[in-house]
Structures are given as C-alpha cells and as structure tokens.
C-alpha cells in the first residue's frame, strides 16, 4: 500500500555512502527529503544529486536533511559520487542509501511494475520532524525533478504549520498568502493586519515574518 499524506514514514536502518544509518536518528528533529533514483551512473540522476548538493545551504537554513536511495550498492554509490562531484562542480555530503534487496523501496512503494520491475521511479517524500509524510511526488524515470518546487513546498509547509494560512498557486516565499476558511475576517485582521477580500472565501494577507 502506498503512503498517504499524514501517514507516519516507515523507519529503517540501512547501509549508505556515509555508513550505517537509521532514518529516524538521521532526521532527529529535522525535516527530511527522501528521494529515490532508478540507478547509479545515470545522466538525469547525476544532475539531480548535483542539484541537491548545490542546495546544501538552502536545505540547512530550513532545517531539512536530504537522503537519496537507489537499488545499487555502497561501492557503486561512492564511485558515482566522484563523477557527480566532478561533472556538477559540487561536493555530495548527504547519504545515498544502498537498497540492493529493495526493502526500503518496498516500504515506500518506490517500484512501479508497469514502469519497471527492477528499479525505483523518481519518488519524493517530504517528512516533518514528527515523522509524518507531508508530500509525495512521483516522476517518470526520464524526467528530472524540479528542486525549486521541493524547496517551495517546504517553505509553504513550514509557514502554514505556524499560521492559519494557505498558499496560492505558484506562491513563493514572500508572496501574499490566503486566509483559511476557518478564520473569519475580523480574526484575520487581528492576526495578520490588512486583509484584501476578493470574495468572502478568498482573502489575501501579507506573509508574516518577512
């Protein structure tokens, strides 16, 4: 059964490019981005892991820890990391899980038989500090992921966890937000100041704390 939003992300212990790792211990009180790859030494994956490494500071300032996974082994991962660092001009410092037995891929439903019976699709799971799944994305093997979108979603989740707000289409950090239906306009003005009421159910406010 696939994981749904709000489910507790399964814990696991695995061998990785940085040694033996327990998922929950690795995350601690941080958010996590767990993302799978069809295989090592593949072109799209090389760019994706390079982009993740390049975004190290952006993930860190949001208290987010990335962790990658594929069904190849640790030795293969470590050799591939050399290629990633060379071709993408980065330093990969996050772990890549070796899931040769496909145990974790099974826990997270990362293998879709109608796509491939042997390799993982491009799955993404955003997990919060309570270990709840907050976002799932699945890309085909031929399409590289948009890491700006992953950062954008994390910004939205962290903002809306703190405030009774939602974020509109194409929102990015700093844009106006939407007041949730559970908050009436009088209360919204107390909480957020000026409220732009387009419709009674569509009300915009400036993003707090920017």
Ordered by start, the domain boundaries in the chain are 13-145, 163-205
Start-to-end C-alpha separation, the chain = 40
> Given the DSSP bridges, would you call strands 165-166 and 64-70 parallel, antiparallel or unpaired?
unpaired
CATH topology of domain 13-145: Glutaredoxin (3.40.30)
Using CA atoms, how far residue 149 sits from 55, 85, 124, 153, in Å, is 12, 23, 11, 6
- Mean of pLDDT over the chain: 92
Catalytic residue among 45, 98, 104, 159: 45
* Cβ-proximal residues to 10 (8 Å cutoff; 6+ apart), any chain: 3, 107, 108
Domain 163-205: which CATH number of 3.30.1020.10, 2.102.10.10, 3.40.718.10, 3.90.1150.10: 3.30.1020.10
The answer for 174, left when phi > 0, alpha when psi is -120 to 50, beta otherwise, is left
Highest mean pLDDT among 70-74, 81-85, 101-105: 81-85
d(CA 24, CA 17): 17
Q: Is 45 a catalytic residue?
A: yes
The predicted pLDDT at position 134 comes to 98
Whether pTM > 0.85 for this model: the answer is yes
State yes or no: pLDDT of 112 exceeds 60.
Answer: no
State yes or no: pLDDT of 118 exceeds 80.
Answer: no
Q: Average pLDDT in the 131-144 region?
A: 91
1 — pLDDT class (breaks 50, 70, 90): low
What is the full DSSP assignment across 17-52? TTEEEEHHHHHTTSEEEEEE-S-SS-HHHHHHHHHH
């Amino acid at each position: 059964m696939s994981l749904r939003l709000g489910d507790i992300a399964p814990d696991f212990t695995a061998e990785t490019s940085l040694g033996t790792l327990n998922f929950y211990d690795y995350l601690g009180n941080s958010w996590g981005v767990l993302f799978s790859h069809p295989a090592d030494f593949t072109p799209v994956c090389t760019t994706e892991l390079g982009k993740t490494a390049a975004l190290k500071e952006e993930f860190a300032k949001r208290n987010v820890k990335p962790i990658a996974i594929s069904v190849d082994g640790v030795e293969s991962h470590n050799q591939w990391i050399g290629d990633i660092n060379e071709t993408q001009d980065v330093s990969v410092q996050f772990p890549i899980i070796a899931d040769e037995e496909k145990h974790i891929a099974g826990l997270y439903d990362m293998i879709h038989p109608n796509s491939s019976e042997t390799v993982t699709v491009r799955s993404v799971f955003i997990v919060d500090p309570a270990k709840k799944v907050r976002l799932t994305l699945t890309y085909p093997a031929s399409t590289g992921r948009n890491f700006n979108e992953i950062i954008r979603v994390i910004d939205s989740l962290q903002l809306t966890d703190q405030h009774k707000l939602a974020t509109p289409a194409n929102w990015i950090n700093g844009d106006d937000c939407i007041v949730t239906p559970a908050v009436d306009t009088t209360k919204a003005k107390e909480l957020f100041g000026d409220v732009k009421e387009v419709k009674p159910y569509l009300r915009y406010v400036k993003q707090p704390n920017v």
